[in-house]
Chain A
Amino acid sequence: MEVKDIFSYDWTYLLPEFIILGFATGLSLLDLFAGKRLGKHAIGLLSLLGIVLAGVFVFVNIQTMDQPYSYMADMIRIDDYGNAFKLLFLGGTAFTILISLSYMRQSEVAHRGEFYYLLLSGLLGAMVMASSADLITMFVGLELLSLSSYVMVGLRKKSLQSNESAFKYVVSGGIATAVTLFGMSYVYGLTGSTNIYEISQRLAEAGMMGFQFIIYMAFAFLAVGLAFKISAAPYHMWAPDVYQGAPTPITAFLAVVSKAAGFALVFRLLLISFLQVPSAEGQFFLTQGSLFIGWMAAASMILGNVMALRQANVKRMMAYSGIAQAGYLLVPFVPPTTLFFSEVIFYLFGYLLVSFGVFAVIMVVSREQQTEDLKGFAGLYHRSPVMAISMTIFMLSLAGIPITAGFFGKFYLFMGALAQENYWLSAIMIVTSVISYYYYFGIIRQMYMRAGENEAPLSVPKGIWVFIFILAIATVFFGAFPGLVTDYIQATFNPSFDFGNMLPTRTP
């Protein structure tokens, strides 16, 4: 490829990524040369500005594009699928910055500047993951997000726990990367290509020529390796330690943005690459492949919800809850249809609202109580009714009780699973949801039914109070009127094209 070819592309579609990249590098330089003279919140506010700008251009892209735009043979591919996920990433990162701005302690993180531009580089990684259709760029995006996250988890340099969790995260992340790469190497070996659309066709040919076993191995390695990023079984064990040790805003970032990015990558990579592979029973992906994912989903739901029952630390509990949520999110892939997209995006949207609400409340409570124990929530209702009621709404949403966004998301997934006559997974979903009532209501019990050590009103800074309040209202609002979101998804995005119109439709 010559230089003039590179200039022949219309680079305006990549503006969101460029903006984030520019802000990340610019802010790091600014911090280096003028860090001392800047106000406390300057870098944070500037990164927020960058995210808003990038968001505006993502919206412009969504409005102006009617078909995907591809750079350099799909190395980067701007399409509806990626754009929808990008909105979630940008929203999630903006929320992370908001809760850090109003609440991060000076002592907790020594280098505030680093915190923000690492977040931006992590966000950039997530955005690349969502908008590439090539193994190389996918991997680059994955690593960019992972490396930024490793550092962010360990940002509390003087905290032993933070160090420990960063170390665990690096080691298990490294192994996961190795497993993923190993799977990719099989794929490349069979197909000689890194473009997933080419891979899709060549794997189908390879499948017909009798290389099925290797294809299955590749699929299994990729699925297991990538399970790390979405914290699904069998690669979930890192989550509790890391969630517990990381600064709380970073935990929220990992729980939402990093997880959503993992899903964006997993779905696109596995679905497109393996969809056309034939097998004895028809299409491999629609039979054995999705069954494999179904086991992962079932294991995540069961392990996550059962292990969460025994946790005394709120952040660990939320980690296990996140594992279970990852399990629910895998359900629309068993087997996938064209409608998986709106199901997943709606669920992630609800999860975004609720997770940030929960972690913001955890920040408020744990900072004041000096503990992240469940007991720290005791008597919260008497000390700050609004915090307690908001937290109750978030818990109801996570448990899937109406009228909340979480209920409708789960209802939608559940309905999809039943429409696919996927009864065994639906049954597991129901039973594990009911198990989850116990620990979600455990927090509610603490807040309303137990006496706390002190009864003085909890002082909650204005900013975070408003933030939590708005999220709680939004959780209920989108639970009562989910159509607003699903209609928008349906009217704006048409990802079936991104999947080469290969996905089976769910006929009425």
Chain B
Amino acid sequence: MDQVNNLLLSSLVFSPVLAILILAFIPNHQGGAIKKVGVLGTLLPLILSLFLFASFNYGTANLQFVEKHDWISIPISQDPSGTVYSLEINYELGVDGISMPLLVLTAIIGVLAAVASWQIKKRLKEFFILFHVLFIGMLGVFAADNLFLFFIFFEMTLVPMFFLVGIWGYGEREKAANKFLLYNGIGSGIMLLAFIVIYLVTQTMNMEQIATIFSTPQHPIASAISPAFRYGLFLALFIAFAIKLPVFPFHTWMLKVHVQAPPSIVMIHSGILLKMGAYGVLRMGIGFFPEQAYQFSTWLAVLGIINILYGAVLAFVQKDLKMVLAYSSISHMGIVLLGLAAMNTIGFQGAMFQIVSHGFISALLFFLIGVIWDRTQTSMIDELGGLAKSMPFVSGILLAGGMASLGLPGMSGFISEFFAFLGLFGSLPVLAAVGALGIVLTAVYLLRAILRTTFGPTPDRFARLADAQPMEVIPMVVLLGFIILIGVYPAILGNPLQQTLKTIVPIVTGIGG
């Protein structure tokens, strides 16, 4: 691979820097220019990610666009003769079939969230700068091939999110920001602990090498530690990412953020940040410790079912449209867990489809809530109603988004749920049957919430609301377009996944089963 190619991934990850630099030099009062740069700046990562996606080779499971540079070297141990051994932390990037689609997802949602940020009214410059820092962190998480680097990028999303929620959120924004910070801080701490112990065992921070070491049967380094110890490491990683995902009972922070954060940030949060948890479970939990993951799969399925049912039942009784969608996110993340618990290709595929599909669907739905809130200043279901008369286009898209979310065939939600359950029926049929109940409930709570807001009598004060503006139509149409695209042509996502999953699954089933 030539030198230019070698810098592709770095230039993708750090491409938002350009926008940050330009923004820094625009005076505060030129709001229009700031918005334009903020939105146009997100196009660069999108173009680069689409270029990478186009030149991605489906035929191999190896990491592609690999980059490696020396970075930090610190003394970490010493033998009695005085020779010092150093911890080498390299700057390593690379993508495979799992991370490539997520990078594209991140770039797409990033652009649309920037467009949705058009509604932000105060402190625009800071908003867009932080937005782009967050963007770097998210792209980096999916591109990193080194535990230390992964951790740095993971933390890089933490601080901007704190500000974005705490400054631009609704009424209880500071509480939400604090809760976000503390929960995720604990998660990061546990993650760091697991990472360092893994390093101390394997003497490497390269994710690919670690996966090889632990998944090779009878590998001398891996067999130096007991299976119980490995199980402990797996659980530590799982808990760290379960907080992010979030898995019940670690979900309370996520509800607060969903309700209090500004709509464009919720799009990012629900569309991408939660997916970092799912990605971590798949890439590190299952990728590093396939045997332990296999043993844990029943519990994984049980946790998934709890998430599905708990989310669905609570979504049914919520009065706030945002809360309905927040609980719906918990419910849908349960399906990701179910797909992972299946421990077979179809299940993993379902989980990955669900990650991507829910990214688009939740971004769409939260964007619509933002649009509605902008006009009505409320998101309470009881106060809304009859919006279909005054805002037919928005209501139509809302209904379509709801249909996608409840898994209407022809849309992405259907494909992902179908694969996830198909996979799970293959391995844990009873649990799969229980989980399938959740799908029924999804239809109930989503239709209740959406029909009550769009149909029925229109309150007088909502009779003359403006329908969607051109700036608002773009994200709606694009997101819905992707949802339908994946629904009718799943191969666009399935192809890149294929090879990578083919290498993970035999390891999992080979060792475990």
Which residues of A approach B to under 8 Å, CB–CB?
Answer: 337-339, 342, 396, 401-403, 411-412, 414-416, 418-419, 426-427, 430-431, 433-434, 437-438, 441, 444-445, 448-449, 481-483, 486-487, 490, 496, 505-508
Known contacts A414-B192, A426-B193; decide if A505 and B72 are in contact (CB<8 Å): no
Report whether over half of chain A's contact residues are helix, strand or loop; otherwise say mixed: helix
Chain A residues with CB under 8 A of B174: 445, 449
Q: Given A434-B186, A483-B74, A505-B80, are A402 and B156 also a contact pair (CB < 8 Å)? A: yes
Known interface pairs A419-B200, A449-B166; A441-B79 also in contact (CB < 8 Å): no
- Let me know if B472 is at the binding interface, CB within 8 A: no
Task: Give CA–CA (A484, B196) in the complex, Å.
Answer: 22
Closest chain B residue to A382, Cβ basis = B123
Q: From residue 182 to 214 of chain B, which have CB atoms closer than 8 A to chain A?
A: 182, 185-186, 189-190, 192-193, 196-197, 199-200, 203
User: Cβ of B196 and Cβ of A339 under 8 Å apart?
Assistant: no
Interface membership of B178, Cβ < 8 A: yes
Instruction: List the A side residues contacting B75 at CB < 8 Å.
Output: 339, 342, 486, 490
Known contacts A434-B189, A448-B167, A505-B80; is A483 also within 8 Å of B72 by CB? yes
Q: Which residues of B contact A342 (CB under 8 A)?
A: 74-75
Task: With both chains docked as a complex, state the minimum distance between the C-beta of A420 and any C-beta of chain B, in angstroms.
Answer: 10
Look across to chain B and name the residue whose beta carbon is closest to the beta carbon of A508. Answer: B77
A339 to B75 alpha-carbon distance, docked (Å) = 8
* Chain B residues in 8 Å Cβ range of A402: 151-152, 155-156
Please determine whether B185 and A437 come into contact, CB atoms closer than 8 angstroms.
yes
Q: How far is the CB of A425 from chain B (nearest CB, A)?
A: 12
CA distance A139 to B151 in the complex (A): 45
A339: chain B residues at CB < 8 Å are 75-78
CB distance from A507 to the nearest CB of B (A): 6
Give the distance to chain A from B226, nearest Cβ to Cβ, in Å.
13
- Nearest B residue to A483 via CB reads B72
13 residue pairs bridging A and B, Cβ less than 8 Å apart: A403-B152, A403-B156, A418-B200, A426-B193, A433-B185, A434-B182, A434-B185, A445-B174, A482-B72, A483-B72, A483-B74, A486-B74, A505-B80
| Residues on B with beta carbons closer than 8 Å to the beta carbon of A507 | 77-80
Q: Which residues of A contact B71 (CB under 8 A)?
A: 483
**A-facing mask of B65-88, CB < 8 A → 1, else 0?**
000000111111111101011010
Q: Are B72 and A415 in contact (CB under 8 A)?
A: no
Q: Which residues of B contact A431 (CB under 8 A)?
A: 186, 189
CB-CB under 8 A from B37, the residues of chain A are: none
- Residues on the B chain within 8 Å of A426, using CB: 193
**Residue among B71, B75, B167, B181 with most chain A CB within 10 A:** B75
Are the C-beta atoms of B192 and A412 separated by less than 8 Å? Answer: no
CB-CB under 8 A from A449, the residues of chain B are 166-167, 173-174
Enumerate chain B residues within 8 angstroms of A401, measured Cβ to Cβ.
155, 158-159
- Check B155 against A441 for contact (C-beta < 8 Å): no
Collect the chain B residues with CB atoms within 8 Å of residue A487's CB.
73
Chain A to chain B: the 3 pairs with minimum beta-carbon distance, closest first: A430-B189, A434-B185, A508-B77
Q: What's the Cα separation between A426 and B74 when bound, in Å?
A: 19
Residues of B near any A CB (own CB < 8 A): 71-80, 82, 84-85, 87, 151-152, 155-156, 158-159, 162-163, 166-167, 173-174, 177-178, 181-182, 185-186, 189-190, 192-193, 196-197, 199-200, 203
Task: Check B79–A505 contact: CB distance below 8 A.
Answer: yes
Task: Report A-chain residues with C-beta under 8 Å of the C-beta of B82.
Answer: 496
* Bound complex: CA A342 to CA B87 (Å): 13
Given contacts A415-B76, A441-B178, contact A508 B203 (CB under 8 A): yes
Q: Would you call B72 and A438 a contact (CB within 8 A)? A: no
A339 to B83, CA, bound (A): 12
Closest beta carbon of chain B to A417's beta carbon, Å: 9
Tell whether, in the assembled complex, residue A414 and residue B196 are in contact, meaning their CB atoms are under 8 Å apart.
yes
Say whether A437 contacts B79, CB under 8 Å. no
Work out how many contacts link A and B, with CB atoms closer than 8 A: 101
* A-B contact sample (16 more), CB < 8 A, given A431-B189, A438-B182, A482-B72: A338-B78, A339-B76, A342-B75, A396-B159, A402-B156, A403-B156, A414-B192, A415-B76, A418-B200, A427-B193, A437-B182, A490-B75, A490-B84, A505-B80, A507-B77, A507-B78
Known: A415-B87, A418-B200, A445-B174. Contact between A506 and B72, CB under 8 A? no
- Cα A431 to Cα B78 in complex, Å, equals 29
Contacts of A505 in B (CB 8 A): 77-80
* Chain B hits for A448, CB < 8 A: 163, 166-167
A505 to B72, CA, bound (A): 22
Known A415-B87, A445-B166: A506·B77 in contact at CB below 8 Å: yes
With a cutoff of 8 Å between Cβ atoms, the chain A residues found around residue B73 in the complex are 483, 486-487
Q: Which residues of A contact B151 (CB under 8 A)?
A: 402
Instruction: Give the interface centre of A437, A448, A506 by most chain B CB atoms within 10 Å.
Output: A437
Chain A residue with minimal CB distance to B82?
A496
Contact of B192 among A411, A416, A444, A481 (CB under 8 A): A411
**A487 to B186 alpha-carbon distance, docked (Å):** 31
**Nearest chain A CB to B177's CB is how many angstroms away?**
8
Contacts of B158 in A (CB 8 A): 401
* A residues near B185, Cβ cutoff 8 Å: 433-434, 437
- Identify which of A337, A339, A403 gathers the most chain B CB atoms within 10 Å of its CB: A339
Distance of A487 Cα from B199 Cα, bound (Å): 21
- Chain B residues near A418: list those with CB within 8 A: 193, 196-197, 200
Chain A nearest CB, measured from B123 CB (Å): 9
- Closest A residue to B79 using CB positions: A507
Shortest distance between the CB of A340 and any CB in chain B (Å): 11
Cα distance A28–B370 when bound, in Å?
A: 69
The answer for the CA separation of A339 and B84 in the assembled complex, in Å, is 10
Say yes or no: B192 contacts A430, CB within 8 Å.
Answer: yes
Smallest Cβ-Cβ distance to B185: which chain A residue: A434
CB of A387, distance to nearest CB on chain B (Å): 15
Q: Given A342-B75, A483-B74, A505-B80, check contact A430 B167 (CB 8 Å).
A: no
> Which residues of the other chain, A, contact B72 by a CB distance below 8 angstroms?
481-483
Chain B residue contacts of A481, Cβ below 8 A: 72
Interchain CA distance A273-B292 in the complex, whole Å? 47
Task: Please report the C-alpha to C-alpha distance between residue A482 and residue B152 in the assembled complex, in whole angstroms.
Answer: 14
Cβ of B276 to closest chain A Cβ, rounded Å:
16
Alpha-carbon distance between A339 and B156 when the two chains are bound, in angstroms: 29
Q: Give the Cβ gap from B71 to chain A, nearest Cβ, in Å.
A: 8
Could you tell me if A412 and B186 are in contact, using CB atoms closer than 8 angstroms?
no
Q: A437-B182, A449-B167 are in contact. Are A482 and B193 (CB under 8 A)?
A: no
Q: Are B78 and A506 in contact (CB under 8 A)?
A: yes
Please tell me if the beta carbons of B196 and A415 are within 8 angstroms of each other in the complex.
yes
A302 to chain B, nearest CB (A): 15
Q: When chains A and B are docked, how far (Å) is the Cα of A431 from the Cα of B189?
A: 8
Chain B residues near A444: list those with CB within 8 A.
162
Chain A residues within 8 Å of B199, by CB = 415
Given contacts A438-B182, A508-B77, contact A430 B166 (CB under 8 A): no
- The reply to whether B181 and A441 contact each other, CB–CB distance below 8 Å, is yes
Least Cβ–Cβ distance between B157 and chain A, in angstroms: 11
Report chain A residues within 8 Å CB of B166: 445, 448-449
For residue A506, which residue of chain B has the nearest CB? Answer: B77
Cβ A441 vs Cβ B186 within 8 A: no
Complex contact A433–B197 (CB within 8 A): no
* Distance of B126 from chain A, by nearest CB (Å): 8
Beta-carbon contact of B74 and A482 below 8 Å? yes
Residue of A nearest to B81 (CB): A505
Expressed in whole angstroms, the Cα–Cα distance for A482 and B182 within the complex equals: 27
- In chain B, what residue has the closest Cβ to A503? B78
Please determine whether B159 and A508 come into contact, CB atoms closer than 8 angstroms. Answer: no
Whole-angstrom CA separation of A411 from B152 in the bound complex = 12
Q: State A430–B188 Cα separation when bound (angstroms).
A: 9
A-chain residues with CB within 8 Å of residue B173 when the two chains form the complex: 449
Residue on A nearest B73 in the bound complex, by CB: A483
| Residues of A contacting B203 in the complex (Cβ-Cβ under 8 angstroms) | 508
B365 to A: closest C-beta gap in Å: 28
Question: Which residue of chain A has its CB nearest to the CB of B203?
Answer: A508
> Roughly how many angstroms separate A482 CA and B89 CA in the complex, as a whole number?
11
Nearest-neighbor residue (CB-CB) of B181 within chain A: A437
Minimum CB–CB distance for A436 against chain B, Å = 9
Task: Compute how far the CA of A363 lies from the CA of B163 in the bound complex, rounded to whole angstroms.
Answer: 25
